[in-house]
Structures are given as C-alpha cells and as structure tokens.
Structure 1
C-alpha cells in the first residue's frame, strides 16, 4: 500500500526549498494547483483502461476498494479518445500547501540549457491554417484548434527541479505539473511530461463541480498599461467572443445532464498568464448523482472545443489530416482522483515531453472565421514562450516567431 504524508506548514519566511526535494530520479508525479500541491514518488500500481464512458465509470468502482482513503490514482489522459488510459498509484505521496502560498519567496536557480538541435516547421502550420479556414468557409466546421511542435536536443537532460520551480512561480494561479509517462513499445528511455496549464477542465469535490474553459487569446506585452488595453480589446473582439462562446456552450451541454444546478456567467472575464491573456468563464454546478466519478465527467467533456474544435468529430478528423505529428498527452488532461470520485484535472497545454536529451514542446491556436494564418502562428509562438523561458532557452523566441 502506498503512503501519504502531510507536508510541513510553511510560514512567510520559509523559502519552501524542500517542496522540491522529491524532484529527482524517483519523481513520478507533481501537481501544483490553487488548492494544494501533490508530489508523488515511485509507482506502486499501474492501471490501464480503454478510454470510454463505461470504463471510466467502472474504474471508480475498482478504485473504491483498491485505494485507501489517503491514496490517489494519477495520470495523463491522451487527446485521442481511441487510445488506452494509463493511470498509476504513487508509492509515496506528499500533500503540500498551494504553491502560491510559498512560491513568492522561493529561491529560483538559473537554468542554462544549451540547444544542440532545433526543428520546427512553421510553414506546415501556416498551410494547415489556410486549409482549416477553407473548411470553415465551406461550413464543415465552426472552429478547429491546430497545433505545432518544436523539437529540441539539449546538451544535457532537463534540470526538472529547477524548471518546475520556475514554472510554479510563473503560474501561481494555475496548474503546474510533471508526470512519468508509461513506456511505449520499443522504448528504453523514460519520458516525462511537464508544463504549466492555466485551464481547469473539471474538478469535483463532494457534490460540487467546477470547470473553467479558456478560449480567445492575445499575447501580453510586458507593459501593464498596454496589457490592460489589450484585455479591453479582447473582451470587445467579436472573433474571440464567438470562439469563446462555442467552448462555453459545449461545456455547459456536457455538464447539464449531471447537474441539479449549473451556474454559467453571461459574460466572460480575462485571465492573465506569464505570456498570454485569455477569455475565461468559470462554470460551477451541483451534482444530481453524488457518486459520479470525476473521470466520468472528464470523459463527458473531453475534448472541448478549446483544444479540438466544433463540431467535435469533423474537427478531430481534420486535425488528424492537417497535423503532421501525434499529440499524445498534449491537449489531453492531467490530474488525480481518489476512492470517492473526487478529483481535479487540468487541460494539458503549455507543456513539453522529454526523453533523455530530446524534448518536444507544443502550442496550439483556435481557428474560426476571421482568423489569419500569421496571427495564429504568432499566438502559438507566444504560448511557446512559457516553456522556453522556464528552460532558459528564450534566445529561441525570435526563431519560433518566423
């Protein structure tokens, strides 16, 4: 049986260094959210299920008798719904305070990775956006989310503890994460997924559920006055409001059957990350059935139009045709659930996947009528900034903007 230990209480003078003491070779899970920070070491038990509604519901029954009250099943769900889902139970798990309560005073060491190779294909992304706009003009889609990948080879393996410290500091109100990924057939090098997502797919605590879809974005400028002007413009943008409304309507439609009440704000607000600003709507509900699993809610929601498009199936088929790589866990979900069905799952964006010295970064943008290829390319470049800065390779920023 795995064990859970309660982390020490931090005071204002504590730099919180030992929050990251477990970030070493045995780290299997790191998830810092506005509610708490989880650090898992080792893997006690792996659980693989087909990704469908029945399996999601049946898994909760299994966890109800296999997990102790203090244990969690954790994992990352893929973008593709026809792939299996691999979860695991950490051998040991530390529950800490929310990162925002200690990270302000955290000593952040410099990260100085050197890039030996860099591969990206912005021309392929631009061509994909042009084809997507044709599908939208023809009426086949209302929205599609297209992504690009940036492949790097570093001089050494990622300094994960230092990178997570930087990401956590940059992302105090969001979800910073790292996860040991299962080996794929023929692989010998361990893979790690890590990143900093601003977007909550779903949380369930008792009868209460919350989802916070984001869609409609602009890059930040670094100037507070200009950023406020951009935020005002974003709220007034017809294109971005339409893109956001598509996502909110889909989330509401997915959650309504599960909820006795559901509060959906009539107007979005703007949330800020280190490099971007997004239209945001925080949706809250009360469950009709108190024992519905968080994973079942994830299945009902994923993929939202924020990461796929609308209508969902035509958008998914178009993504397969237009994107020259497998997304894997990117634009899936990462999080945890317990024996009672409580859980918290963030959308897996602003992320990278590492294997040895090889690294792949991802970024996507929502395409709707009125989008332009160059603007969408610029948006993906701004989103890549989060990981490039955290890795200490921001010198690549000019290159990814091309």
Structure 2
C-alpha cells in the first residue's frame, strides 16, 4: 500500500511522498529562525525526506553505479534487509599514520546548467556573509575537537569553493599531526561527530530543535560511512546525499543549515538541490524534490 499522502511522479512506476511537505518545512525554518533570534543557538540543521515506492524491485547495483567516483560512495547493509547508499562530498576525518585530515563543508548553492549563471552562483556563495559565518562555525568546532589530539593543526582562514555535479560548497581542509601515534581514526571520529554541519551549535540546543521540528527519525542519515584497519588508519565520511533502500522503497534525505539571515524558501530550494544526487542516480524527475 502507498503511504498516506503519496502522489504519483511523472516518471512511470514511481510514487512519492515528501516528509514534511515543502510548506511545512519552510514553516519549521521560520520557527528555528525565531529561536535563533531569542539567543542561545547559533545554528541548527533541519532536514527533510522524500519517500519513493516502485512497483518493481529496486536495482541496488544500478543505483550505486552512477554514484561511483562522486565523492565518497558507499553501500552499507542495515538491519531488516535495507541498505544505506549514497555519495557523500564531506570527509569527517581520515588518519594515515600520524597525518589527520578533516574537510568540513558548510554553505551551499545549487549548480546551474548555464555556465555563466553557474559561475555567478559560485561567486555569490564565496562572498556571502551569511554562508561564510555558517561555515566558520563548523570549522571552529572541528578545530576545537581535533586540537587535543594534534601536536600541530593547520586551519586555513578562508574557505575554498568546491563542487559536485549538483552543488557548490564552501570547503576548508583542516590538517594535523597526531600527538599520540596510537590514537585511532574512530577515536577522532567520535570526538568530531556530530559537527555543526549536520546538527548545529551549541549541540544540545540544536538537537532539541531537531527533535521538535523534524517529523521523522533520521535513522542513519548524517551518521558516518567509512573504513578502518587494524593499525587504526581509515577514512570516515558524513552520510549525506544518501538514501535508505529496501526492496521496493527508498527514503532520501537532505538538510540545510539555518543561521540568522537564512531565508526559508532559499533553504527549501537548497534541500531540493541536494536531493538531485540520488534522484539523478535513479533516473527520475527532479520535480518531486
């Protein structure tokens, strides 16, 4: 049976439901902005989902294939025969010997097929005071979390632009050298997660807002996907641009960071753009986002 509120897509054989509906998501952003105005919170990340159902069993290898080579591609088995699959652009942390790298992303803009407009959007993002402030919150949190573990830490003062097929992002590559060579990558990941890029800051208040405003369980979305070895080396990416896949159903996730100055309609559009990574891999219309 279709979930309540499901509506057919223009693509044959697919049904969809948005949770929350776009208008409700924009309303949640407005509520978050009101809370930010009252003080105590600097940022909160609000997510939404698109649930898809197919009449035919979902071809998981066929879904994963277009994602390979786009950032950190993953397909991780979950309980109940489900799979978390996606292509994350964001490295939470890597450790190779004593070398540590974290590459937080925060501040985003949708790509455009027109080259001139695409360049304009990138330049606007790089100059956006709101996005630069949002990005700095994340970078400072990452640096603070890594500092106790690192004898030296390099934190660039200005972010760079990086891009995926669908998005522009502000990016800062934070590098360090471990004090203790026995510190394992999972210890670093536990110290870092969740960053303000997926939760907000301060963390406790942001978590409360997420629980209040998001009408679904994030499950494994915004968790970690990666690997580690017996030596403690490894790489762990933030589980974004992803979907939870079962035999006939998918749940796609996308979030946006809300700070003072955020616009509800712009944040809604940002989440819609972030859905496109998985929608294009599925070969279905972007319109449902």
In which range does the TM-score fall when normalised by the shorter chain?
Answer: over 0.9
Check whether the contact 2:63–2:281 (CA below 8 A) recurs between aligned residues: yes
Task: Give the counterpart of 2:86 among 195, 205, 208.
Answer: 195
Larger radius of gyration: 1
2:196 equivalent in structure 1: 305
Superposed CA deviations along residues 69-109 of structure 1, whole A, max 9, x for unmatched, are: xxxxxxxxxxxxxxxxxxxxxxxxxxxxxxxxxxxxxxxxx
Count of aligned residue pairs for this structure pair = 277
1:131 equivalent in structure 2: 31
Task: Give the counterpart of 2:146 among 255, 278, 288.
Answer: 255
Superposed CA deviations along residues 212-243 of structure 1, whole A, max 9, x for unmatched, are: 00000000011233222221111110000000
2:173 equivalent in structure 1: 282
| 2:221 matches 1:330 | yes
Q: Which runs of 5+ in 2 are unaligned?
A: 1-10
Superposed CA deviations along residues 10-42 of structure 1, whole A, max 9, x for unmatched, are: xxxxxxxxxxxxxxxxxxxxxxxxxxxxxxxxx
How far 1:123 moved relative to its partner? Answer: 2.3
2:16 match: secondary structure: strand
Task: Give the counterpart of 1:157 among 43, 57, 67.
Answer: 57
2:7 equivalent in structure 1: none
| 2:146 matches 1:146 | no
Decide whether aligned partners of structure 1 residues 164 and 288 sit closer, same or farther in structure 2, where only a CA change above 3 A counts.
Answer: same
2:100 equivalent in structure 1: 209
Task: Give the counterpart of 2:68 among 128, 149, 168.
Answer: 168
If asked which structure has higher relative contact order (CA below 8 Å, sep 6+), I would say: 2
1:181 equivalent in structure 2: 78
How far 1:115 moved relative to its partner? Answer: 3.9
Q: Which runs of 5+ in 1 are unaligned?
A: 1-112, 184-189
Check whether the contact 1:114–1:154 (CA below 8 A) recurs between aligned residues: no
CA distance in 2, matches of 1:218, 1:260: 35
| 2:17 matches 1:119 | yes
2:120 equivalent in structure 1: 229
1:33 equivalent in structure 2: none
Q: CA RMSD in A?
A: 1.1
1:398 equivalent in structure 2: 287
Which segments of structure 1 move beyond 3 Å, counting only runs of 4 or more?
A: 113-116
CA distance in 2, matches of 1:140, 1:155: 47
How far 1:114 moved relative to its partner? Answer: 4.1
How far 1:199 moved relative to its partner? Answer: 0.3
Check whether the contact 1:149–1:361 (CA below 8 A) recurs between aligned residues: yes
Matches within 5 A, 1:332-347: 332-347=223-238
2:270 match: secondary structure: helix
1:209 match: secondary structure: strand
